[in-house]
Amino acid sequence: MSEQPLSQPPIAARRPSPRTHHGDTFLDAYEWLRDQAAPETLAYLRAENAWTEQQTAGLAPLTEELFADMQARTQETDLSVPSHTTHPSSSGSATSWWYYTRTVTGQEYEIHCRVQAPADRMPEVTAGTPVPGEEIMLDENVLAEGQEFFSLGAFAVSPNGRLLAYAVDLTGGERFTLYFRDLTTGALLPESVDDITYGIAWAGNEHLLYARADESWRPHQVLRHRLGTAADADPVIFTEPDERFWLYLDNSRDDRFVVLSSASKLTGECHLLDCADPTGEFRLVAPRRDGVEYSVEVAGDRLLILHNRDGADFALAQAPLEATGDAEWTPVLPHRPGVRLTGVDAYAGQVVVQLRRDGLTGIHLIPRDSAGDLGTGTDLTFDEPLYAVSARGEWDWDTDTIRLDFTSLVTPPTLLEHDLRTGARRVLKRRPVLDHPVHGPYRSEDYVQTRTWATAEDGTRVPISLVHRREVPLDGSAPALLYGYGSYEISIDPTFSTMRLSLLDRGFVYAIAHVRGGGELGRAWYEQGNRLHKRNSFTDFIACAHHLVAEGYTAPDRLVAEGGSAGGLLMGAVANLAPEAFAGIHASVPFVDALTTILDPSLPLTVTEWEEWGDPLHDPEVYAYMRGYSPYENVTEQRYPAILATTSLNDTRVLYVEPAKWIAALRHSARVDPSRLLLRTEMVAGHGGVTGRHAGWREAAFEYAWLIDAATRSRHPVTEA
């Protein structure tokens, strides 16, 4: 911030640039901000940061208080429950290891460890106590030392347990450098591979496959690296030419195969590489068919195929290990409308199916006999009315137990062990929530979680999950935060947040609007909120806001909203459509210049997004529809609530220029107190924001302080245009 107080916010120069499509011309006044390297662009972003810092200076004590809350409730020195893996060797012997991570008070990142012990005896590990025989495989704190940004993008131990491959990003641009470490000596191998993206897979113990992205930041090639050779000689072994498709790499549970998935938003296909022949060819499991998605789980002597060939909510089939087409698929679980199958893990004695039903996640277990054939399955049940549960993929094929991650709006993340033979269940670990110096110990019974339903403008019932302290009056006087996302069939489940307690203990109601475009109620729920139905996401959210007011949870001048990325598009759209419904809106890395981005196939990710949003470049109907809701183009001269937009300069998913243009347009047209219209840009970070847990807490504390301020002061005065 400058030494002299700023008398007014920065005003971006207006340089109208015409954009014409399908007979419509839009004059884009702020497209010049796209030039990231231009000194005037960087100067503008820094000026906005200075303005935000000045206007929020009064929130510094509350921000520090919130940061202290988060730190006080967190057990900083902690460790995960060890997970078992057996590593075979070429001599026929095997070593048994338990893997875990731990954190240390005052340090930002995780330490990855392992200890050798028999498979049937989990080592006794206690936070803060040295584990006898511990090997530190990787200390992220050491790697991050002296760096402004650090992200670990890959971490994979070789099948024999002797080598570690890991990848590091130091800018936030989601481009990684791959390294190898000898776990026997701890030495870093002299070779590295630059410019890889997410996804690596060992093919035996001497070869590693990795993905590389094209100019549009799309993983489109798989390369093979042989240890001991120069990376610039790595051959390309697979290329995906269709710009709609991304490549994903993984290993089968038994490390016999590399599974390569090539998928667009609505179509997919899978290939298998036999790790016994790492320089061989991938085998196609079934050719792609437009609109058909499938995934593959290697299940011993057969494949399990999760697919939507027979229905939108997916079915489960099995096929021979050597299958090369879907004619060889035979049903295991048929398609059932409203029961969305989302994942499958196979073990010697059981198949674990993950699903969604009635807006909640679920687990379905199918027993296998000694021949590997599948029997009749059963659903697991849980006591709470709202929850999220998922199965962790165990690496031991012959396991008798599986681990379940369970949480709810009032139950901290809990790791359960479920016995596949007896059905017995026990808690292995529940994330500690330490006593707060003012609010005392955390007790779930002090809070109420519930589900209520809003009615959208077309009559559709939209679920809302919410939580608040038991004593909060439901007479409209409570402040409330409504969160939403609503894209890509991604579900925002009712999960616990330690940081959220800082809001709840200050009298907030916290609500999640499960709007269409997400996956909470199955594939149809998603399809009703994408492409030419996208407006449903926005009107659903507004209906949820009105419902919270009508039911006495809050009032419009005490209701704030939050969403990020595609949820930031939601924030921008509802700000235009119903500004009177909210006291404040926080849009994080917001996709608010959606039409400009989706019109330009040279920009990162655009072509792959056409199946989500439609193709406005070639389809005039899609263009007109997006033109009608894209937040940037639809800023008008009306009253707006307080708005905070946060972004990162190195974000490759939603470019910083989108919120920068949006805020500039709002400054020009919106009737809002200039002190309540803010842009904050992290100058060294990516789509996920800052890294390091303390930095993350500080970022969250600032955002919460702003939201609390917006919700607990009266409606701000409006500057007339």
Active-site residue list: 565, 651, 687
**Which helix (H) or strand (E) segment is 542 a member of?**
helix 535-550
Residues near 654 by Cβ (< 8 Å), separated by ≥ 6?
565, 568, 589, 590, 591, 647, 687
Helical (H) or strand (E) element with 165:
strand 163-169
Token pair in block for residue 437? 């110096």
Instruction: Return the sign of the alpha-carbon dihedral for residues 629, 632, 634, 638.
Output: positive
Where are the strands (E) in 53-150, listed by range?
A: 78-79, 83-88, 94-103, 111-116, 135-139
CA distance 307 to 322: 18
Give the tokens for residue 486. Answer: 């609503």
- Evaluate whether 583 touches 710 at the Cβ level (below 8 Å): yes
590 CB-near residues (< 8 Å, 6+ apart): 563, 564, 565, 567, 568, 569, 571, 572, 631, 645, 647, 654, 658, 659, 662
- The angle that helices 535-550 and 566-577 make with each other, rounded to 10 degrees, is 70
Q: Is 598 helix (H, G, I), strand (E, B) or coil?
A: helix
Closest CA to 196 of 157, 161, 165: 165
Which of 587, 597, 584, 596 minimizes the C-alpha distance to 565?
587
Describe the crossing of helices 535-550 and 620-629 by its angle, rounded to 10 degrees. 30
Distance CA 321, CA 333 (A): 19
Q: Are 472 and 698 in contact (CB under 8 A)?
A: no
Distance CA 222, CA 175 (A): 15
> What do you get for the CA distance between the two ends of the chain, in Å?
28
Nearest in space to 152 (alpha carbons), one of 136, 168, 176: 168
Region of 134 on the Ramachandran plot (φ > 0 left; ψ -120 to 50 alpha; else beta): beta
Residues 480 and 512: their CA atoms lie apart, in Å, by 11
Question: Minimal CA–CA distance to 388: which of 417, 367, 365, 409?
Answer: 409
- DSSP secondary structure of 18-70: EEEETTEEEEETTGGGG-TT-HHHHHHHHHHHHHHHHHTGGGHHHHHHHHHHH
